Amino acid sequence: MKIDLKNLNIKTAHQHLIKGDFSSEELTKECLNVIKEKNKDINAYLEVFEKNALERANDADKKIKEGKYTELTGIPLAIKDNILIKGQKASAGSKILENYTATYDATVIKKLKDAGAVFLGRTNMDEFAMGSSTENSAFGVTRNPLDLERVPGGSSGGSTSAVAMNSCLGALGSDTGGSVRQPSSFCGLVGLKPTYGSVSRNGLIALGSSFDVIGPIGKTTSDVEIIFNTIKGGDDLDSTTIQESKKVYPVKSREAGISLGVKLFNRARIIGVPSFVNEIGGMDNFAKNNFNESIKRLEAIGYQTKEVSLPNVKYAISAYYVTLPAEASANLARFDGVRYGLHKDGENGIDDYLKTRGVGFGKEVRRRIILGTYVLSAGYYDAYYNKAQDVRDLIREDFKSAFKEVDVIITPTTTGSAFKIGEKVNDPVRMYLEDIFTVSANLAGIPAISIPSNKKEDGSFDGGLPLGLQIIAPQMEEDVLFEIAKNFLGEK
């Protein structure tokens, strides 16, 4: 059977592998061929694990023949460069970790290995996940496979580009303020930011420890769901993980009954539409129109919609870009050139430290370290950091109140489609505003998914470039996100 990677996803590939239509080795070789053909122009992968991938594929084929398999056995995946794979380099897109080799597997990697997944390589990213375009990598810009003059989004742009260029069937990214959802929107994919604590951060190179979460990227909602169900769960190595399902929001009763059919079940769901969406400055008319069409589409398939108020979400960007740099400056203090990573000799120990960090960190990372150190300094801690934390609490309360009335909340994922490379990279404020719809879910610690909102039946996108619809749910209600996403996209 000829392997058609463009029209293959995890679910269908699994069925073919079980039937014996092709082997994991054949599937992996086909993915490696695509990487060899396309990666030189796109720069999605920083390193390809060809030998290791083929060995894992052979092992997967043996497991399948023995009947000992999962839905991910033999499935080729790409992994973001800030997630540790034992024996492989993990640079987080930075010169300061250029030659660092991981000494252990991240918990999510261990779970994927146990499931029999195949790792094709590590993908490019904004340095230490600081960015919204994958232009901040120390190892070159990643391009959007749908338009090579445009960014793929960030910081997980390498992972989304790897999936969008049909070189793998799924990928892992990390989402601190939108870094899975925004590039998924720009590349026409499905990307999930899980509930904070639902997926272990053990083995993830930290950016903001109270924000970071590892999330799956795929072509379909089902594929993202399969990966999420594999990597989720409590972990003794990460004290922030949720050991059991704890729904902290008083979710509206769904009295219509799950077993009475999809149409009636849809009517039981009430979708909240924030009043501020169409008032956001900088949002282009095509994105506004597409969002309004998405609302009509949800109503047409049986959902109710209701306007909701989130009065403090307008302060989300400000609160995020005070709190996140503060956490980043603390987390990145460990990269000092003494224990691991890049080292530059100076006249003394302090000079070693300054030279190593000055050369090893890029411009955006240095900017955020300076900002974070400033807001944590004496005399400014209360004025900035504590106030930002107070706003974060207010945003959590906004969502709590809204979820008493509705089941989920929808917004656009971004203010428009993918912008051109170089268009915003020298304007930090414009770049930070790329996160305007996504950061609130990270501040509140709740799950959100981005799905293509303008994809046509033939696979093309209305208007030429993809746009995303973001669906936000209460804590630990990823299943609700998957249900609504599948219905919106017409997935079975």
User: How far apart, in whole angstroms, are the C-alpha atoms of residue 271 and residue 357?
Assistant: 47
Element holding 391 (H helix, E strand):
helix 387-402
User: How far apart, in whole angstroms, are the C-alpha atoms of residue 332 and residue 435?
Assistant: 22
What number of other Cβ atoms are within 10 A of residue 272's Cβ?
A: 23
Instruction: Work out the widest C-alpha separation in the chain, in whole angstroms.
Output: 75
Among the listed residues 80, 193, 219, 232, the single catalytic one is 80
User: How far apart, in whole angstroms, are the C-alpha atoms of residue 217 and residue 57?
Assistant: 21
- C-alpha dist (Å) from residue 317 to 215, 224, 445: 21, 27, 15
Contact 425, 135 (CB under 8 A): yes
Contact 202, 103 (CB under 8 A): no
Contact 394, 264 (CB under 8 A): no
Phi, psi for 55 (deg, rounded to 5): -65, -45
Q: Which of 120, 121, 124, 177 is nearest to 152 (CA)?
A: 124
- C-alpha dist (Å) from residue 81 to 22, 47, 138, 139, 435: 29, 9, 12, 11, 21
3-state secondary structure of 331: helix
User: How far apart, in whole angstroms, are the C-alpha atoms of residue 136 and residue 124?
Assistant: 10
- For β-strands 270-274 and 408-412, DSSP reports them as parallel
User: Catalytic annotation on 275?
Assistant: no
User: How far apart, in whole angstroms, are the C-alpha atoms of residue 394 and residue 312?
Assistant: 7
- Record the tokens describing residue 125, joined without a space: 């990213």
User: Catalytic annotation on 460?
Assistant: no
Q: Is the peptide bond before 377 cis (omega within 30 degrees of 0)?
A: no
Q: Which of 161, 116, 163 is nearest to 5 (CA)?
A: 163
Among the listed residues 132, 133, 155, 440, the single catalytic one is 155
3-state secondary structure of 409: strand
Within 194-263, strands assigned E span 213-218
- Record the tokens describing residue 64, joined without a space: 């399948």
User: How far apart, in whole angstroms, are the C-alpha atoms of residue 54 and residue 50?
Assistant: 6
Contact 48, 33 (CB under 8 A): no
Among the listed residues 24, 94, 179, 200, the single catalytic one is 179
User: Catalytic annotation on 209?
Assistant: no
Phi, psi for 472 (deg, rounded to 5): -115, 135
Residue linked to tokens 């990666």: 39
3-state secondary structure of 95: helix
Where in the sequence numbering do the catalytic residues fall?
80, 155, 179
